[in-house]
Amino acid sequence: MNSSIYDIIIVGGGPAGLTAGLYASRARLKTLLIEKIALGGQVTKSEQIENYPGFEEGISGFQLIQNLEKQAKGFGLTVETGDVQAIVSLHKNKKTLKVQDREFHCKALIIATGSESNALGVEGEDTLLGRGVSYCATCDGAFFRDREVAVVGGGDAAVEEALFLTRLVKKVHIIHRRDELRAIKILQERALAHEKIAFIWNTVVEKIEGENSVEALKLKNIKEDRAFSLSVEGVFIYVGLRPNTTWLKNRLPLTEQGFIETDHGMETSLPGVFAAGDVRHKLLRQIATAVGDGSTAAFAAEKYLDSL
Ligand code: NAP
């Protein structure tokens, strides 16, 4: 049992949470950030970020998070590792969180738990995970040097990671369920022009096959209703993200997809409870918008504390 009360507790240590931590600590508020595994979230899966303002040569996700962590801790942010399982109570002056067998208390709460990769939900995906199936090209790409791999999806993540993989592998097949990419134009142009990238359009993965590791994908062209097979040794799945909000069910109103609604000050429908970053229902999910959310949430939380 941890009986001291923090001014602000932030749940989640990606760019939104760390920025909220930086702003709150710099405002001299007693602030704790609780992160489940390692700081960074989805960002650490990015080998090179080239659209975060101020870094003209780009910056790796890992480096950006290291810088942010150092900066926030420099202003006094406390970071704890722990899996926040539930909100126990939500009083105006005291909100209680259950973190494994401990309880933490705060006056204002900022939820920045981000999102995680969607699974395809096909046979072989679970059993061959780590043996050819991956959700992170930056982490696992090097295992497939000079091999042939597939990337599933047509969004920014799929195309960006396919481009990253071309530096390592022999060939990348991008398998997309439509005949048009969702990714932004600059990524589309690069991928469409890349000699190591081949596109398989209007196609879905039905099964991932292999004895001990991935050997082939069973595919289906949904326009022509035609099944076929593709020999690859790796498959990287980038079919969107889902918010990490299951622990908030029945506590906080969520959208149909599980995102948190907030007002312009990042406050949820519960007074003193704020949300920031990818976990929030919003138009654009980027590091630039996450840090904006984080700073706004910390500022609004400070105003909430003033009002108590
Ligand atoms: P996303 O934008 O939601 O794209 C998901 C892709 O997967 C779409 O092409 C979608 O097809 C496809 N898909 C979804 N479910 C599928 C299924 N069951 N089977 C086959 N394909 C399926 O997700 P994301 O690429 O992970 O990006 C998430 C967010 O992060 C976005 O807001 C994105 O802009 C942002 N992001 C930004 C950057 C960057 O700025 N550098 C990098 C990575 C991510 P349809 O197109 O047919 O729907």
| Three-class secondary structure of residue 158 per DSSP | helix
**pLDDT digits 0-9 by tens, 48-101:** 898 999 999 999 999 999 999 999 999 999 999 999 999 999 999 999 999 999
Mutate to test the pocket of ligand 1, among 46, 50, 134, 182 (most ligand atoms within 8 A of CB): 182
SS3 helix, strand, coil % of the chain, rounded to 5?
30, 30, 40
Site to probe by mutation for ligand 1, drawn from 239, 244, 279 as the one with most ligand atoms within 8 Å of Cβ, is: 239
Give the chain's mean pLDDT.
Answer: 96
Whether ligand 1 lies within 6 angstroms of the CB of 58 is answered as: no
The H-assigned helical ranges of the chain are: 15-26, 61-74, 137-140, 156-165, 185-193, 287-307
Domain boundary among 237, 255, 271: 237
Statement to judge: residues 11 and 96 lie in one domain: yes
Q: Backbone phi, then psi, for 80, in 5-degree steps?
A: -125, 150
Closest atom, ligand 1, to C-alpha of 184: 34
Judge if 132 and 157 occupy the same domain.
Answer: yes
Judge if the beta carbon of residue 286 lies within 6 A of ligand 1.
yes
User: What's the CATH number where 148 sits?
Assistant: 3.50.50.60
- Asked if 114 and 279 count as a contact pair (C-beta separation under 8 A), the reply is yes
pLDDT at position 3 is: 60
Residues 13 and 32 in one domain: yes
Examine the domain organization and report whether 194 and 266 are in the same domain: no
Q: How many angstroms separate the CA atoms of 267 and 270, rounded?
A: 7
For residue 4, pLDDT over 60 is answered with yes
Q: How confident is the model at residue 47 (pLDDT cuts 50, 70, 90)?
A: confident
300 Cα to the center of ligand 1, angstroms: 31
Distance of alpha carbon 33 from alpha carbon 110, whole angstroms: 9
Give the residue whose CA is nearest to atom 2 of ligand 1: 155
Query: Among 209, 237, 265, where does a domain finish?
Result: 237
Average pLDDT on 200-228 reads: 98
- Sort strands 95-99 and 241-243 into parallel, antiparallel or unpaired: unpaired
Cα 243 to averaged position of ligand 1 atoms, centre (Å) = 13
Q: Is the distance from the beta carbon of residue 161 to the nearest atom of ligand 1 less than 6 Å?
A: no
104 lines ligand 1 (CB under 6 A): no
Give the percent of the chain with pLDDT over 90. Answer: 94
Task: Report the separation in Å between the CA atom of 258 and the middle of ligand 1, taken as the mean of its atom positions.
Answer: 16
> In angstroms, what is the span from residue 183 Cα to ligand 1's centroid?
7
> 153 and 129 in one domain?
yes
Same domain, 45 and 80: yes
127 and 267 in a common domain: no
Q: Number of structural domains, the chain? A: 2
My answer on whether 254 and 108 are in the same domain is: yes
Positions marked catalytic: 136, 139-140
Q: Does the Cβ of 159 fall within 6 Å of ligand 1? A: no
Q: What does the pLDDT read at residue 207?
A: 98
How confident is the model over 185-196, as a mean pLDDT? 98
Candidates 50, 156, 164: which one to mutate for ligand 1, based on the most atoms within 8 Å of Cβ?
156
* Full residue range of the structural domain in which residue 184 is found: 119-237
Gap from CA of 262 to ligand 1 centroid (Å): 23
Q: Is 154 in the pocket of ligand 1 (CB under 6 A)?
A: yes
Q: Count Cβ atoms below 10 Å from residue 254 Cβ, excluding itself.
A: 19
Residues 181, 270, single domain; the answer is no
Q: Do 93 and 126 share a domain, yes or no? A: no
Does 144 have pLDDT greater than 50? Answer: yes
The predicted model scores a pTM of 0.90
Read off the pLDDT band of 250 (50, 70, 90).
confident
Q: How far is CA 86 from CA 35, 134, 255, in A?
A: 14, 29, 19
Query: Which of 237, 268, 284 is the C-terminal boundary of a domain?
Result: 237
The reply to whether 22 and 49 lie within a common domain is yes
Tell me how far CA of residue 126 lies from CA of 21, 68, 278, in angstroms. 35, 34, 25
Ligand 1 contacts CB of residue 277 (under 6 A): no
Pair 109, 129 in one domain: no
What are the DSSP calls for 173-227, one per residue?
EEE-SSSS--S-HHHHHHHHH-TTEEEE-SEEEEEEE-SSS--EEEEEETTTTEE
